[in-house]
Structure 1
Amino acid sequence: MKVVFGLFVILFRVSHGVETFCDGRQNGAKCYGALGGTVVLRLMDDASKIFRSVWIFNTTTTILRLRNNMIVSNLIEKRSSFSLSNGTFRINDLSRNDGGEYTLVVYKDNSGTNVEKRTLQLTIQAPVSSVLLVSECLSQGEMKASCSSEGGDSPQYRWTLGGRTLTQTQLLSGNSESQNITVKQDVSGELVCSVRNDVSVVRKEKQTCGFTFLQCTLSNGTYISNWFPPAYETLCPQPTPEALPLLYCGLRAAVVFLILTGIFVYFACKKNDLKKAEGSAVHEVTEYENDSVVMLEMRSSASRL
């Protein structure tokens, strides 16, 4: 959907070509038609309520005449039609000669003074027929891509990845609207080039290179640290499915061993601290008992004296 001077131009394809719609009820509307296709122009709300009107091409050629809810004349009636109920003019089999300025003059009464004028500009473009997307995977996994189109006037290019516009952080060169870009090696997904103009849009998609960064020591002792294509994803040794349960059990046993060791050390330390505390208590009692004996002996000697 494209907005031009506040108007909506809707593009879609039909079996006999490209059909476009333009609302020309606002003065200065910009409208587009596809070469060989059809354009539907909304000129007024309801022509049946208008006293008289004429539609003029490039200020000199009267294309359509209306009066009192009747079509008086249509210069291109063999390939066009006008609807009085909704005020739309349909032109088929568009050619380059159909492009130009159209002026609608509406006479609201018979006086000739109550007049309304508005213009629209109709541009005829050749639609984009196909898109060619050429890509190359570089040595480090970067992707060089080039997009071109067949046919189509004023083509515009747009790159997306997974439905989102490519950002500069994902690119080594170019931008999301360039014909030629280079994508970084760590970018993966479906790369799409869209080519559009005002009457058509065509897309082409391509998968990125999908390189993977591998870092490991091979069985022959060679150390690798680089980007590799998908075919080399198994280059680094991986634990076999049979070894995974053993590895898991080994890790569990190691954790249990560490926990039990910690518990043993904890209680051993507590026991040692307890023994030290008991030794200190015995020593104090012994000294107290010795002191008591000495005191008793001294009392006995004194009594004898």
Structure 2
Amino acid sequence: MEAVLGLIVMLLGLSHGVGTYCDGRQDGAQCYGALGGTVDIQLMDSSSEIPRYKLLKNFLMILSVRNSTIIPNTIVQGSLFSPGNGTFRINNLSRNDSGDYTLETFDSDGYSSGERTLKLIVQAPVSSVLLVSECLSQGEMRVSYKSLLICGLRAVVVILLLIGISIYFAWKKKKHDKAEVSAVPQTRGDPEDSLLMVEMSSATYTNA
């Protein structure tokens, strides 16, 4: 029961302003963000060694960088890119921010040198949530939200089920112990008294 209770970690009062981090340096990474919150996507270790790269969302360019300089009017409103650490931040997340993000890199001659895609999923939080974080294979952080009431009811059901199972096995063991005790032959009185009674009865019949 203690193990079950230890798995229930409830964080209350999280609604807006939730910040998450995603490692998007691996192709096929999945990122999760809270509606109205912030997500930091690690696109690369450092952009200093990449002459040119651009970020596209559903094939629409939202960022273009050349020689560590952001080309004006290419970064979307509400986002921020830090060339020093290669992190792309999106503030005040909306459902429209969900989608596929593709990073394309180019060499000094303008030829493509690589491409990788990540998926961003924006989820709606509630006033009271159960926050479950798990580290996936690509290193990204997944955050899922569930109603506190539903999770609480599930936890109660699990605990009651464990209690019921414990009571059943305890009752079954007690019943088995009683059956073993009943199966043991019961002896009454002293065996010597029984032998004496047999001898006296024999003597009575003889005299008769």
TM-score with structure 1 setting the length: 0.40
Which residue identity lines up with residue 124 of structure 2 in the other structure? A
Residues 15 and 158 (structure 1), Cα distance of their counterparts in 2 relative to 1, 3 Å cut: closer
Give the length in aligned residue pairs: 139
8 Å Cα contact 1:44-1:88 kept in structure 2 = yes
Within 5 A, what are the aligned runs for 1:290-301? Answer: none
CA deviation after TM superposition for structure 1 residue 185, in Å: 7.5
What value does the CA root-mean-square deviation take over the aligned residues?
Answer: 3.5
CA distance in 2 between counterparts of 1:153 and 1:25 reads 22
SS class of match (1:97): helix
Higher relative contact order (CA 8 A, sep 6+): 2
Deviation digits for residues 229-256 of structure 1, max 9, x if unmatched? Answer: xxxxxxxxxxxxxxxxxxxxxxxxxxxx
Q: Structure 1 residue 119 and structure 2 residue 98: aligned?
A: no
CA deviation after TM superposition for structure 1 residue 48, in Å: 2.1
Q: Greater helix share, 1 or 2?
A: 2
8 Å Cα contact 2:56-2:63 kept in structure 1 = yes
Residues 66 and 111 (structure 1), Cα distance of their counterparts in 2 relative to 1, 3 Å cut: closer
Partner of 1:92: 91
CA distance in 2 between counterparts of 1:175 and 1:64 reads 49
CA deviation after TM superposition for structure 1 residue 126, in Å: 0.8
CA distance in 1 between counterparts of 2:36 and 2:102 reads 23
CA distance in 2 between counterparts of 1:37 and 1:111 reads 36
CA distance in 1 between counterparts of 2:76 and 2:14 reads 21
Partner of 1:66: 65
8 Å Cα contact 1:34-1:94 kept in structure 2 = yes
CA distance in 2 between counterparts of 1:40 and 1:50 reads 20
Deviation digits for residues 42-98 of structure 1, max 9, x if unmatched? Answer: 001111221110100112x10000001100145455411110110001110110000
Partner of 1:81: 80
Structure 2 spans left out of the alignment, 5+ residues: 1-12, 131-142, 167-208
CA deviation after TM superposition for structure 1 residue 115, in Å: 1.6
Residues 106 and 25 (structure 1), Cα distance of their counterparts in 2 relative to 1, 3 Å cut: same
Instruction: Give percent identity, aligned residues only.
Output: 48
Q: Greater strand share, 1 or 2?
A: 1
CA distance in 1 between counterparts of 2:64 and 2:110 reads 18
Which residue identity lines up with residue 86 of structure 2 in the other structure? G
CA distance in 1 between counterparts of 2:106 and 2:98 reads 25
SS class of match (2:48): helix
TM-score with structure 2 setting the length: 0.56
Partner of 1:184: 163
CA distance in 1 between counterparts of 2:162 and 2:31 reads 37
CA distance in 1 between counterparts of 2:144 and 2:85 reads 31
Structure 1 spans left out of the alignment, 5+ residues: 1-12, 133-151, 160-165, 188-305
Deviation digits for residues 166-190 of structure 1, max 9, x if unmatched? Answer: 7xxxx8xx447xxxx6563899xxx
